[in-house]
């Protein structure tokens, strides 16, 4: 007999008071580094800002309230590939026609948190001024080693392996055909879902084209593509040190970031600021409560090390995998404030790009920064790929 499908179980989490007491004690005992006068954010996280954030984290931030808010999402765990996978599974509310299932894949440094604001807009568009016919069933998993999913005890999983898990998860949930969307590492996972499961993925939406990998003759690239390659290399030289650490020696960084909540906050908040459409003021896009909800998830689950190790796994993906062309209909929303934005010529070279837009607001974390705008991008792209009433 075939093995029974994994059975998703409802998931709730309530942090023990002792864990919060330990966190506050560590925050109050932070040993602060010095910083040059007027350095600001030029050398990394600004000392004055982080002192302010940590003080609020220790004495003002209400984690139980944030935990209760996240508990309003329909959350589950299922065993896939030997790992417990945590996910949100929110069904369409009063849909006006057949519903398209959609799996959303997050990136680093976040978790299912990235999509917390946009889920109700996707499942119940009619309640938010949009067409009820655009409702989705939404699945948002935490990748292995992120959030409330298990940490792999053996080699870290790469994006190809995670895409395989998501295909299995969608089958467990009864979805034979579905859409996929994501950004950052989640863009890679969505890409491999389309590459390896084209019979099941009806269309794929991404917020980026990944970092450029090209095995052909550089003379065949358009001027715009060559300029993008040069820009991506320049960005890597000035902003890519975190990624080099993650790919090569993630465990070394994990010791300090797992032991010091202030250090963990510094590692994450600098990226929230640098990669969002905030014009240098991170709190134009994220309140302190929102920042600290994301960081506290990492702290309480102890997943900063395991999340970084995925970069190491992805760094070992063979080049022939990185240069495969996606033939599934592909959409790209390149938000104004995001990093390393590819030209259309590159998107068309690497994918069946049928939809390319450049929203005027939002950055790397657009589902959180601009949930209404991101939801409209997904509605517009996936509309032609919805199941017909007779399907």
> How much is the pLDDT for 1?
35
> How much is the pLDDT for 2?
46
Of the chain, the percentage scoring pLDDT greater than 70 comes to: 98
What's the CATH code, domain 9-32+39-385?
3.40.50.1820
Catalytically active residues, by annotation: 184, 311, 364
Beta-carbon count within 10 A of 67 CB: 17
Mean per-residue pLDDT for 22-42?
97
Mean per-residue pLDDT for 293-303?
98
Q: Which two tokens mark 7?
A: 């059975």
Mean per-residue pLDDT for 259-264?
98
Instruction: Please tell me the distance from the alpha carbon of residue 260 to that of residue 161, in angstroms, as a whole number.
Output: 31
Q: Where are the alpha helices (DSSP H) in 197-318?
A: 223-239, 241-248, 250-259, 261-275, 288-301, 304-315
Helix/strand/coil for 209 = coil
Mean per-residue pLDDT for 323-331?
97
Mean per-residue pLDDT for 11-22?
96
> How much is the pLDDT for 208?
96
pLDDT band at 212 (very low <50, low <70, confident <90, very high): confident
On the question of pLDDT at 5 being above 90, the answer is no
pLDDT band at 20 (very low <50, low <70, confident <90, very high): very high
Rg for the chain (alpha carbons), in Å? 21
Q: Where are the beta strands (DSSP E) in the chain?
A: 9-10, 75-80, 83-90, 100-105, 136-141, 178-182, 201-206, 326-333, 351-357
On the question of pLDDT at 264 being above 70, the answer is yes
On the question of pLDDT at 78 being above 80, the answer is yes
Place of tokens 């991101």: 374
Please state, in angstroms and as integers, the Cα–Cα distance from residue 137 to each residue in 10, 69, 131, 243, following that order: 17, 20, 15, 33
> How much is the pLDDT for 389?
59
Q: In this predicted model, what pLDDT tens digit does every residue of 105-125 receive, in sequence order?
A: 999 999 999 999 999 999 999
On the question of pLDDT at 339 being above 60, the answer is yes
Instruction: Please tell me the distance from the alpha carbon of residue 20 to that of residue 14, in angstroms, as a whole number.
Output: 11
Write out the DSSP string of 249-279.
Answer: -HHHHHHHHHH-HHHHHHHHHHHHHHHSSST
On the question of pLDDT at 218 being above 90, the answer is no
Q: Do the strands 100-105 and 136-141 form a parallel or antiparallel pair, or are they unpaired? A: parallel
The domain segmentation of the chain, as residue ranges, is 9-32+39-385
> Between these two residues, 5 and 148, which has the higher pLDDT value?
148
Contact in structure between 375 and 359 (CB atoms under 8 Å): no
- Predicted structure pTM score: 0.96
């Amino acid at each position: 007999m075939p093995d029974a499908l994994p059975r998703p179980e409802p998931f709730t989490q309530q942090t023990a008071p002792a864990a919060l007491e330990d966190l506050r004690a560590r925050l109050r005992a932070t040993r602060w580094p010095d910083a040059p006068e007027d350095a600001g954010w030029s050398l990394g996280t600004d000392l004055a800002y982080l002192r302010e954030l940590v003080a609020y984290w220790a004495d003002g931030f209400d984690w139980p309230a944030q935990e209760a808010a996240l508990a309003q999402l329909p959350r589950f765990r299922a065993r896939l590939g030997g790992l417990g996978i945590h996910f949100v599974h929110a069904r369409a509310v009063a849909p006006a026609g057949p519903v398209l299932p959609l799996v959303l894949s997050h990136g680093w440094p976040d978790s299912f948190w990235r999509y917390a604001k946009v889920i109700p807009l996707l499942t119940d568009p009619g309640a938010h001024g949009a067409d009820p016919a655009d409702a989705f069933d939404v699945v948002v998993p935490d990748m292995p080693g992120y959030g409330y999913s298990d940490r792999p005890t053996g080699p870290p999983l790469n994006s190809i392996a995670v895409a395989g898990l998501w295909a299995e998860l969608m089958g467990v949930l009864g979805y034979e055909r579905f859409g996929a969307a994501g950004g950052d590492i989640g863009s890679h996972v969505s890409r491999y879902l389309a590459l390896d499961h084209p019979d099941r993925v009806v269309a794929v939406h991404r917020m980026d084209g990944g970092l450029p990998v090209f095995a052909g003759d550089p003379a065949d690239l358009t001027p715009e593509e060559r300029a993008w390659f040069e820009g991506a290399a320049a960005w890597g030289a000035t902003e890519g040190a975190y990624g080099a650490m993650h790919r090569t020696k993630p465990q070394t960084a994990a010791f300090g970031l797992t032991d010091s909540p202030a250090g963990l906050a510094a590692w994450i908040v600098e990226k929230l600021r640098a990669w969002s459409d905030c014009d240098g003021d991170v709190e134009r896009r994220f309140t302190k409560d929102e920042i600290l909800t994301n960081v506290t998830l990492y702290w309480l689950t102890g997943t900063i090390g395991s999340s970084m190790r995925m970069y190491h796994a992805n760094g070992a993906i063979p080049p022939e995998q990185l240069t495969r062309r996606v033939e599934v209909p592909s959409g790209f929303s390149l938000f104004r404030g995001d990093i390393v934005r590819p030209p259309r010529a590159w998107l068309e070279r690497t994918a069946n790009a049928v939809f390319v837009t450049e929203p005027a607001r939002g950055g790397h974390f657009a589902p959180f920064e601009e949930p209404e705008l991101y939801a409209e991008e997904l509605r517009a792209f996936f509309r032609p790929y919805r199941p017909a009433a007779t399907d």
